[in-house]
Amino acid sequence: MPRQRLGQHFLVDLDWREQIARAIRVSPHSTVPLAKDDSHCWIEIGAGHGEMTRHLLAVGGPVCAIELDPALSSVLRRLAKEFPRLTVVSRDILKTDLATLASGRRIRIYGNLPYYITSPILHHLFSFAAIIDEMHFVIQTEVAQRLAAQPCTRDYGYLSVVTQFYTRPEFVFEIPREAFQPPPEVTSALVTLRLPGERSKLALKDEQRFLNFVKLSFSQKRKTLVNSLRSLAKPEKLRAALASLGLRPDARAEQLTVGQLAALHALLQNS
């Protein structure tokens, strides 16, 4: 029985499971499947009844299935008796140390994420970016679009910048409501996040300070940066910094790339 408070929507459609497996390269029918001797550790978030777990196990490496629901964890432990490479972790993902689970291996992640907690989960995972190579998530379509959104578009915002700072997002495809039980109220999508992102190109002294700067820049999205960042610098200083980057004095955060935001932050910090 799905638990509404945990945001559970199980992917019951076998065809869609196979399509996802092909897209994340764990199906033998993938265009370029992962090598059988791939040394990564797969971490699955919200493994449910194991709907996708068998696909991940087919690659041959270790799989850590994280499932908070005790009843579902019991189901997964029965599956682990069949597959010794499967470790079941009954824990909140937000309180889980991925480095400990991976035991020195590089990480790939798959998850059917609860819609109400997608953003906190992403922020937690980004703290382990140094050991993660790929993440594949089934999430609300609207959120998937925000992760991959480009500047000057409606969906581009703080979450877009943070995601693209750490990863290279790709909106893969939509999944209909009917593929899940119970059907969610909104459509879902598969999004792939490959690492590293823009972070690897930027020489930042203090990443958290930069992310705080980004959050402040987007805190009042319709305002110009000169107005949004008044607590950091005087308007004339902000206009001069924008001009030095070839940006208009009335530029808004939604118009700047991750690199431009980083450059603006550096100018304000150094001047």
C-alpha span between 12 and 17 (Å, rounded)? 8
Say yes or no: 64 and 165 in one domain: yes
Q: Are 187 and 139 in contact (CB under 8 A)?
A: no
Rounded-to-integer distance, Cα 73 and Cα 86, Å:
12
Q: What is the per-residue pLDDT for 37?
A: 77
- Number of domains within the chain: 2
Asked whether the predicted pLDDT for residue 241 surpasses 90, the reply is yes
For the beta carbon of residue 185, count every other beta carbon within 10 angstroms. Answer: 9
Query: Residue 127 is part of which domain span?
Result: 4-199
Sign of CA dihedral 221, 136, 96, 179: positive
Domain boundary among 199, 219, 246: 199
CATH number of residue 116's parent domain: 3.40.50.150
Pick the closest to residue 59 from 87, 85, 31 (CA basis): 85
Q: Could you tell me if 82 and 105 lie in one domain? A: yes
Region 102-117 average pLDDT: 94
Mark whether 116 and 242 lie in a shared domain: no
In this predicted structure, what is the pLDDT of residue 3?
A: 45
Share of the chain above pLDDT 90, in %: 90
What integer pLDDT is reported at residue 227 of this predicted model? 95
pLDDT tens for each residue of 145-186 = 999 999 999 999 999 999 999 999 999 999 999 999 999 999
Per DSSP, the chain holds a count of helices (H) and strands (E) of 11, 9
CA distance 69 to 84: 21
Q: What is the pLDDT of residue 1?
A: 44
Taking the CA atoms of 86, 91, 94 and 100 in sequence, report the sign of the dihedral they define. Answer: negative
Convert the pLDDT of each residue in 252-267 to its tens digit: 999 999 999 999 999 9
Last residue of a domain, one of 199, 231, 259: 199
- In angstroms, rounded to a whole number, what is the distance separating the alpha carbons of residues 157 and 97? 28
φ, ψ at 242 (rounded to 5°): -65, -45
Those residues whose C-beta lies under 8 Å from the C-beta of residue 60, and which sit 6 or more positions away, are: 36, 37, 38, 85
Q: What is the pLDDT of residue 6?
A: 47
Give the pLDDT score at 119.
95
Domain CATH code at residue 230: 1.10.8.100
Contact 175, 138 (CB under 8 A): yes
Residues 32 and 86 both lie in one domain: yes
176 and 70 in a single domain? The answer is: yes
Q: What is the pLDDT of residues 52-93, one digit of tens each?
A: 999 999 999 999 999 999 999 999 999 999 999 999 999 999
Contacts (Cβ under 8 Å, ≥6 apart) of 125: 98, 109, 132, 135
Average pLDDT over residues 100-119: 94
Cβ partners under 8 Å of residue 103, min gap 6: 41
**Core vs surface per residue 67-99: b (16+ CB within 10 A) or e:** bbbeebbeebeebbeebeebbbbeeebeebebe
Higher per-residue pLDDT: 235 or 5 = 235
* pLDDT score for 271: 66
- Name the CA dihedral angle for 148, 249, 240, 224, rounded to a multiple of 10 degrees: -60
CB 43 within 8 A of CB 5: no
Determine the pLDDT at residue 7. Answer: 53
DSSP 33: P
Q: Whole-number mean pLDDT of the chain? A: 94
2: confidence class by pLDDT, cuts 50, 70, 90 = very low
In this prediction, residue 102 carries a pLDDT of: 96
Instruction: Collapse the DSSP code of 187 into the 3-class scheme (helix H, G, I; strand E, B; otherwise coil) and give the result.
Output: coil
What was the pLDDT predicted at 4?
44
Among 172, 199, 226, give the residue marking a domain's end.
199
